[in-house]
Amino acid sequence: MALEYRLVLAGDTPVEQVAGRAFPDPEELPTGVIPLLTADLFDRYGFSVAVRAGRNGYVDVESDEGSWEWEPEAYVSLSFRMDKFADQPPLVINMLTAIRRVLNTGSEDAAFILNGDVLLLTRFDGKPVKHRRTWWENYPGAADLIPSSSGLSPDGA
């Protein structure tokens, strides 16, 4: 069993561009056949990553306010897979660093999800909003990596 995190970006951004934004170091860059690029970064960061482009997306997760649905017409997702016993602060910080790079270098609407059913972050119209206060508080420094315009403040308050 594993923990899976997924960042979904709305739009037709090329999958190789999203992969390069997340992992600018050529040694880390996911490779493969478009629309799916992958990289085994377990030794370096504690996770593997898959970057996939698709159409007719569907996200149905639990948010702080209950069920939340989103249907991006075109999308690119970055899926991070960690050993279920390895969900430690340094590994989460490594993953959030890649997510921050993606969010800082593009303007796509986005959703960040844990295990396919828990909403952790949304960004619409350029405004990131954090969800699940306890998750962000569990990882020292996590809230500082991805500031939000509303929702949780960087200090978790």
E strand or H helix that includes residue 7: strand 2-10
86 SS3 class = coil
Kindly state whether residue 157 falls inside one of the protein's structural domains: no
Q: Any idea what the CATH number is for the domain that residue 67 is in?
A: 3.30.2030
The residue range of the domain holding 123 is: 2-145
Q: What is the pLDDT of residue 147?
A: 80
The count of structural domains within the chain is 1
Q: Does 152 fall in a domain? A: no
Domain-located, residue 154: no
Nearest to 102 by CA among 49, 151, 57, 63: 49
- The per-residue pLDDT for range 34-54, each reduced to its tens digit, is 999 999 999 999 999 999 999
Q: How confident is the model at residue 86 (pLDDT cuts 50, 70, 90)?
A: low
Q: Which residues pair with 67 in a beta bridge?
A: 62
Conformation bin of residue 145: beta by default, left when phi > 0, alpha when psi is -120 to 50? alpha
Cα–Cα distance, 108 to 104 (Å, whole number)? 10
Instruction: Please state, in angstroms and rounded to a whole number, the distance separating the CA atoms of residues 136 and 144.
Output: 10
Tell me if 155 is assigned to some domain.
Answer: no
151 lies in a domain? no
How does residue 149 score in pLDDT terms, banded at 50, 70 and 90? low
Average pLDDT over residues 112-120: 96
The token duo for 88 is: 């430690």
Is the per-residue pLDDT at 138 higher than 80? Answer: yes
- How high does pLDDT run on average in the chain? 91
